[in-house]
Structure 1
Amino acid sequence: MAGNEKQFKSAFDSLHALTYFAPEVDAALTGIGLRPGRMPYFAGRSAAMGPVGAEVVAATFYNFNPEVVARVIPRAWTLATPAQVLEARLDGVDKVLTRLLGDDTLKSEEVAEAAELAREASAGCTAEGRPLYAAHAALAWPDQPHLALWHAITLLREYRGDGHIAALVLNGLGNIEALVTHVATGDGFVPEVAKLTRGWSDEQWAAAEAGLADRGILDAEGALTETGVALRDRVEVATEAAATGPWDHLGPEKTARLELLCRALSRQAVEAGAFPEGVFAGRRRV
């Protein structure tokens, strides 16, 4: 079922990821007092855990520089409560999905069906060892189908992400090391964009590369060695294996139906301008 999980992730991913690029979500969060920049992202995604400190956010987000997190957390909680952040975030999601998909689509039988299937899939998730998933799973379900669908996708993404972090820890890759080796696979950001978006300096990046080279994971040019390729393969296999619960619970027929529905919605959202032009320019094409 791991292959199906990976395929489905690509089908629904845009429906959640667009949240982080939507002006409606940013406006909703800055409208309650959060400062523009990184604060809406860190506060918006971590608010389900309550007013936690920078250490908790850095640990659960993993590949961001903890120094960057500490610049906005816990200050964010002095500007708005987690409850206010969660309410504003959902309001922004409602607005952006309405803009991208339109009222007719949001009220369609397909969206209602997708929401029911995604919620059923999420019932196959377990909270043990999954802090971000567990925090979001404790939130009330939205009543409107398109928001329930978005919430279910959020649960599934955080569930998978928590499992991915466990795989990285198991395989001995720390925060920046996980990012450096992911970049080295060629299936991700180029180094300049990875450093910029995750807040790492050139010096920190170079030090991580040197450490990975000493361990035989990178070669002198910064490419993955055979040992490094095998390491990243183990991480991916473990990540997919840890993420099968929802799809085993939903079953192959319903999973295929949900994939079909979400792929169509994702395509519509992307074509309607879900992501700013050039937002993926810093990703390698493989």
Structure 2
Amino acid sequence: MTKIARRAKQSLELIHAMIYFAPEAADGFAGLGLAPGRMSYYAGRAAPMGPVGAGVVAATFYNFNPESVAKSIPRAWSIATPDAVLAARLKAADEALRRMLGEDVIASETVAETAELAREATTACTPDGKPLYAGHADLDWPDEPHLKLWHAITLLREFRGDAHIAALQQAELSGVQALALHSTTSGGFTPEAAKKLRGWSDEQWALASRQLRERGLVDAGDEITDAGLALREEIESATDAMSMAPWSALGEARTEVLIRNGGRLSKALADAGAMPEGLRR
């Protein structure tokens, strides 16, 4: 039953994650004076927690280089307040979803139904031990169905993400080690993309890879081993188990409807270029 949590994540995540690559978001943050790239990303995702420091952002994001975070946070808050960042982010989500899905889909019963199911699923999520989720859960709900859907998927994503960090710590993987291990698997970022997006240097990445080799999780060619695959599955299974509350509350039948609808919307977003090519294996 817990595998349904993983299927939901795979089906729904792009509905939220498209915001990180949408030109509408880049333009909105630039309009506030935020530097493109990492500063905009850090501020955009961290804004629900308020004007927190670099340590909080690095801790809650986990696999980003703290040195990279400290170059942008808390400086970003002297440029734009968290409230201004949140407003720009929501406006960008609206514009990006309308562009990629089209007005007919935005106004469809499918989006309205999917939004209500996703919103109901979030009512079973609790903030205990989940700081990034908790920050997002304190935000007001948007009124329009497509934005309600985007916000609900954001909540579900961060709820699972906070649980995933707990599973990684249980597995004794640092942020960069977890990222390096994930980059060896199908669907993970390529090492080049991971280093660029998360701010790790070649030297830091090489050290993490060596540490994974010492644990027998990757081989001499930095390919994942059977032990590495087993650990990855343990981590994902633990994350699934800690992320079941929304799906148990929604029930299997309605969760399947959400997965089906979300999968169709995600495919439409992918076909519209929501995820840049060449980032993943």
Does TM, scored on the shorter chain, surpass 0.5? Answer: yes
Distance 1:282 1:87, change over 3 A: closer
User: SS of the counterpart of 2:9?
Assistant: helix
Where do 1:82-121 residues align within 5 Å? 82-121=82-121
Q: Which runs of 4+ in 1 moved over 4 A?
A: none
Partner of 1:204: 204
Deviation, 1:230, is 2.4
Distance 1:258 1:186 in 2: 25
Report the residue type matching 2:29 in the other structure: L
Superposition deviation, residue 165 in structure 1: 0.4
Offset of 1:228 from its aligned partner? 2.6
1:79 aligns with 2:79: yes
Separation in 1, partners of 2:97, 2:223: 40
Shift of residue 211, structure 1, vs aligned partner: 2.1
Kindly report the root-mean-square deviation, in angstroms, between the aligned alpha carbons of the 2 structures. 1.4
Q: Distance in 2 between matches of 1:147 and 1:186?
A: 31
* Alpha carbons of structure 1 residues 186 and 110: separation in structure 2 relative to 1, 3 Å: closer
Aligned to 2:192: 192
Give 1:10's aligned amino acid: Q
Residues 140 and 68 of structure 1: is their aligned pair in 2 closer, same or farther, counting only changes over 3 Å? same
- 1:137 is aligned to 137
1:69 and 2:69 matched: yes
The percent identity for this pair of structures is 55
Shift of 1:186: 4.1
Matched residue type, 1:269: L
What's the offset of the Cα at 1:264? 1.9
Partner residue of 1:10?
10
After superposition, residues 237-256 of structure 1 pair within 5 angstroms as 237-256=237-256
Q: Which moved more, 1:264-273 or 1:146-155?
A: 264-273
Is residue 253 of structure 2 the alignment partner of residue 281 of structure 1?
no
State the distance in 2 between where 1:223 and 1:104 align. Answer: 45
1:219 deviates by 2.9
5+ long unaligned stretches in structure 2: none
Q: Which moved more, 1:161-170 or 1:189-198?
A: 189-198
Q: Please report how far the alpha carbon of residue 35 of structure 1 lies from its aligned counterpart in structure 2 after TM superposition.
A: 1.5
* CA deviation after TM superposition for structure 1 residue 88, in Å: 0.8
Q: Aligned to 1:184, what secondary structure does the other structure show?
A: coil
TM-score of the aligned structures, taking structure 1 as reference length = 0.94
Q: What letter corresponds to residue 173 of structure 2 in structure 1?
A: L
**CA deviation profile, 1:190-246 (whole Å, cap 9, x unmatched):** 222221221111111111122222333333332334433322221111111111111
What is the letter of the counterpart of residue 50 of structure 1?
G
Code of the aligned partner of 1:283: R
Q: Which amino acid aligns with 1:281?
A: G
Is structure 2 residue 18 aligned with structure 1 residue 21? no
* Higher alpha-carbon deviation: 149-158 or 176-185: 176-185
**Alpha-carbon separation, structure 1, partners of 2:264 and 2:232:** 31
CA, structure 1 residues 230+36, in 2 after alignment: closer, same or farther (shift >3 Å)? same
Q: Cα deviation per residue 1:105-164 (whole Å; 9 max; x = unaligned)?
A: 212222111111100001111111111111100100011111010000000000010000
Output the amino acid matched with 1:272: A
Matched residues in 1 for 2:104 and 2:223: separation?
48
Letter in 2 for 1:69: V
Post-superposition shift, 1:11?
Answer: 1.6
Q: How many residues align?
A: 281
